[in-house]
Amino acid sequence: MASDDRLDSQRASAFLSACLSLARAPVHTTTWSTLALETLETTYGERPLLHAPTLVLDLTVLLQGERLAPVQPEAPQPVRDALRAYEDHVLARLTADRRWMRVSEGIVAAPKELKAAAVAMVVTQVLGRLGVDGGSGVSQAVVRRLAAQPVSDLLEAGRLALEDPETAARVAEGLHVLAKAARRSREVLSDAEVFVVENIGSLKTLGARVALTQLATAAQLVEERLPARLRGHVFEDGDAPTSLEEDSAYPVGGFSSISTSGSLENLMTSELIYMDDDGAPRPDLFDVRFVEGELLYFARDESVAVRKKRRVVFVFDPSLNAARVLDPKATYQRLVWLLGAVTALVRKMADWFDTEALTFELVFVKGKEAVLSEELGVASLVLREFRERGQVDLREAETTAQACRDAKETWRQRARVLVFGTQFPSGLDETNQPDAWVSLKAGRPDIAWKAGPVPSADDTAGAADVWAVLSRALLDGLLAPSRRK
């Protein structure tokens, strides 16, 4: 039975009531049914066609800590079989995913007025990842009308609706579509869902949510194609003292020798043998050795642990405004892929050099109209974890030449400066020359280092592979000694 159509009010009410009767048990309570139907209404606002609204109702409670328990509905055998396949291949995989806990915590922490929107966004993302299109169209007005009715009446109406062969077949087909799509999909959750729910308060518009989702997905696709381990070559750019809050991870101030001066806390316990018992005449031998300065103490090494220090500066020229184009075989705009590749680079290098003083700086050049201000905001959200621990800085600059000059003057030889754009910026000379210029003028990025060639993707590679090749080339260039002269 084809289900890609718009249902009239009567059939829509029967369809939704039937789906409600198949949802998890907590949805059938007054406490949860209101929020579940509000979430369903929000979801229909973003996806007018849904195969199985039961998924929306289930995730409303599962994402807020309710346990996944099987349902034994009063329904025809085909519906029960479809429900079992949906539970095994969709709900079980979702709750077992490594990202499920972070998504659930984000939903729980979301403001009350944004919980329905947050769950709706997760559902929309999951359906998009499964590649599920089409479904049964239901007006949001029908959902609002059902929400005004007692949940007991809706459950009774749902049980009666499942006795209708057409409604039962539509419900079973929708559940089978989800189960089949989940079996074909490698992943049912991604980093995009995590970022969306953790930043739900900052995403006021659909455009902002789409931008963050696309950037997070592009970054994950590129990162999956990068090497899992760092190769043996590293470079040294000076030392940085370890911050005090990291003393537990670095051996700072350990005992290194024995001295005749120190504090009582560092006194060698063997010196206590010179103390006489209580009541013995004073002074004893311990007192004499103390006065003469002959007691032995452990001496502490007060040196400061240092780590290799390096700074990577990414400069985004305003000419990137021309990179807001969709290339053939690409799912996202060229500029989105660039930001995703840079995000993947930050994550990989931060993981590889976790014991070193590695920091990043993303500089968005304003130009005349501040065309990259939105990209600055989205990148700030995606890299929030690194910003909060002081590893990533984001700022704006007036010109590309000034951004490069500031980096060179502030960090000198410790900085690696990479400039991205569609046309070579003016004002660059020997004093502010970047280490690499990456041109996005064509569909495939072109890298020009100060020395040495770089690999390029073959003509048949997909977008994610093309940008993964770019990321690997940038990594090799940042780590290769020949490129640091």
| Amino acid at residue number 155 | L
Give the number of other CB atoms < 10 A from CB of residue 373: 11
Q: What is the pLDDT of residue 410?
A: 85
Residue 73's Cβ-count burial label (10 Å; 0-12, 13-18, 19+) is: middle
> What one-character DSSP code corresponds to residue 455?
-
Q: What is the pLDDT of residue 250?
A: 47
Contact in structure between 164 and 83 (CB atoms under 8 Å)? no
Contact in structure between 368 and 322 (CB atoms under 8 Å)? no
* Residue entry with tokens 């705009």: 333
| Beta pairing class for 49-50 and 436-439 | unpaired
Non-local CB neighbours of 132 within 8 Å, separated by 6+ positions? 51, 177, 178, 181
Give the 3-state DSSP-derived string for 220-263, with helices as H, strands as E and coil as C: HHHHHCCCCCCCCCCCCCCEEECCHHHCCCCCCCCEEEEECCCC
What values do phi and psi take at 325, rounded to 5? -130, 155
Contact in structure between 34 and 115 (CB atoms under 8 Å)? no
Contact in structure between 114 and 104 (CB atoms under 8 Å)? no
Q: What is the pLDDT of residue 394?
A: 93
Residues linked to residue 50 through DSSP beta bridges, in sequence order: 136
Residues linked to residue 259 through DSSP beta bridges, in sequence order: 297
Q: What is the pLDDT of residue 480?
A: 67
Q: Average pLDDT for consecutive 10-residue bins of the chain (485 residues)?
A: 73 93 90 91 90 93 88 87 93 91 90 88 88 89 92 91 92 94 88 81 70 85 82 52 48 71 85 83 86 87 65 92 85 90 91 82 86 86 87 91 88 85 84 86 81 49 82 82 44
Q: What is the pLDDT of residue 172?
A: 94
Tokens standing for residue 264: 């009582």
Q: What is the pLDDT of residue 284?
A: 86
| Beta pairing class for 49-50 and 255-259 | unpaired
Q: What is the pLDDT of residue 330?
A: 81
Please report the domains of the chain, with CATH numbers, ordered by start residue.
Answer: 5-198 (no CATH), 223-236+309-483 (3.40.50), 253-300 (no CATH)
Q: Please report the beta strands in 272-328, taking only residues with DSSP state E, as ranges in sequence order.
A: 297-300, 306-316
Give the number of other CB atoms < 10 A from CB of residue 398: 10
Q: What is the pLDDT of residue 253?
A: 59
Angle formed by the axes of helices 54-62 and 165-184, to 10°? Answer: 60
